[in-house]
Amino acid sequence: MTAVENPAPQQEDSPTYRPSTFQRLLPFAVAAVVPFILGSTTENVNFWWKALITVVVLAVVARMAWVWTPRGELTHREDMRLWRTPSDRSWAAVTTFGLLVLPFILASDFNPPMNFPWATWFQTTNTVLIFAMGAAAFNLLVGYSGQISLAHVAFLALGTIVAAIVGVQWSGGNMWLALPAAAVAGAVVGGISGLPALRLKHLYLLLATFGFHFVMMLVWREYLQEYFGFVGIRFGGENAPGIASWLHWLPNIDPNSGGEFLINSKFRWYWVIMPLTVASLLFMVNVVRTREGRAFAAVRDRDVSASLLGINVARSKLMAFAVSSAVVSMSGALASFHSGARGEDSFNVQTVLDYAIIIVVGGFSSIQGAIFGSAFFWFLPQWFEWAREELWLVRDIEFLSDHPHEIDLAIKGFLVVIILMFKPDGLAGLWKDIKGWISRSLARRGP
């Protein structure tokens, strides 16, 4: 008797769904417009009502982006999109709304309990965004391309020099000319500094780039003393950058009578720093998705095998140095204008170690990890300081108050070790796991 095999049940293909262009863009349009409406119409509304409205809009935007996502068999063009799944589009819409509503929340008159330092978090947020730009560029070179470098601070100093020449000495505060000039200078000098990478690897390359760091520090000090003396470079005051008056429609921003107004408040700086950081991060995310980005990873893993596959190893290494250095130099110029002044001690080796901590904690080979690492690096000390002063169980310990800096470093180092031991892919990997769990929970409920 011949056994008859039962055919395996075939799984039904997911139904094909193609939303219209209007439906695909509507969640992002709502996320972009509603924060400005809330900021201009809820000035006299209680903070908690603002928070409730924000949460409701956030949920609506996420739901719209989830539902109006193409499903079924994707075309090649749809498959190459940066956000192609329902969860990707939902998180992108939520992030868009969060970035635009954040300055209105931070600028509110919210008075948290226990003297929580709410007012200082606006300045820290701007600093986190600037550091995220530079850390992502550093990660592009070290994490994605495998080119170990200690010349990061050298390009921050280069960006400051270019900003001082173009934005202070030549144009009297024109930051919009200084930023692209710093990027071009960083790309050129970065390509030159990457020449040792054609012959050196690992520790030898690290030492070579470390030597470039000291050469650039010498150039920085000579330039500073020659043109500005020991007082340093002043990017504020009469050299403060301005924005054209046609942006006066933004909430909480009023142009001066001269037709332009200065970027001289945390709220105004946010609207400069945030778009530049987002554009830089999206640029680097797309770089690693291109042919050159895949070549970076191939050279990192095994440059000999990459050359056998037809990849121009020398070109990939120099391209990685040039792209990374361009973004770092631009972030250095932006940070100089934001800080308002630079002196002889503004750049040191400790800054390189700070960026290394940021990319390791945030997530090696992760552009997104630069954001988490920067937030970890800057917000955690503020939380520690507040806990030492306000938490009833902590503020009575004299040892914590007598050695605040050492305690902060020790706790930060302990957390770094814990993250590396139990989550090697950093905070970005942890966030990816959380997003996956939320996405799976929503997917089980259906669209």
Q: Is residue 100 part of a domain?
A: yes
100 and 149 belong to one structural domain: no
Residue 8 falls inside a structural domain: no
Q: How far apart are CA 365 and CA 362, in angstroms?
A: 9
Query: Domain of 205?
Result: 129-352
Percent pLDDT > 70 in the chain is 83
Q: How confident is the model at residue 273 (pLDDT cuts 50, 70, 90)?
A: very high
What Rg do the C-alpha atoms of the chain give, in angstroms?
25
Residues 208, 148 contacting (CB under 8 angstroms): no
Residue 205 lies in a domain: yes
Under the banding of pLDDT at 50, 70 and 90, the label for residue 416 is confident
Burial 114-127 (b: 16+ CB within 10 A, else e): eeeeeeebbebbbb
Query: d(Cα 248, Cα 230) in Å, to the nearest integer?
Result: 38
Distance, in Å, from the CA atom of 375 to the CA atom of 354, rounded to the nearest integer, reads 12
Same domain, 148 and 100: no
Judge whether 11 lies within some domain.
Answer: no
Asked whether residue 310 carries a pLDDT value surpassing 60, the answer given is yes
Please check whether residues 156 and 106 belong to one and the same domain.
Answer: no
Number of domains in the chain: 2
Strand ranges in 207-286 using DSSP code E only, listed in sequence order: 233-234, 242-244, 260-262
Q: Do the domain assignments include residue 440?
A: no
Are residue 37 and residue 148 in the same domain, yes or no? no
Residues 99 and 243 in one domain: no
Indicate if the pLDDT at residue 41 is higher than 70: no
Alpha carbon distance 359, 368 (integer Å): 10
pLDDT tens profile 211-245: 898 999 999 999 988 888 777 888 866 666 776 65
pLDDT at 80 over 70: no
Residue 101 shares a structural domain with residue 190: no
Side-chain half-sphere CA neighbours of 250 within 13 A: 21
The pLDDT of residue 157 is 92
* 239 and 300 housed in the same domain: yes
Dihedral sign from CA coordinates of 359, 363, 365, 369:
negative
Query: Which of 352, 368, 384 is the endpoint of a domain?
Result: 352
Domain identity same for 91 and 142: no
User: Among 320, 352, 384, which residue terminates a domain?
Assistant: 352
Residue 33 lies in a domain: yes
Same domain for 135 and 104? no
The structure's pTM equals 0.85
Asked whether residue 436 is assigned to any structural domain, the reply reads: no
- Residue 42 covered by a domain: yes
Q: Are residues 143 and 102 in the same domain?
A: no
Mean pLDDT of 409-415: 81
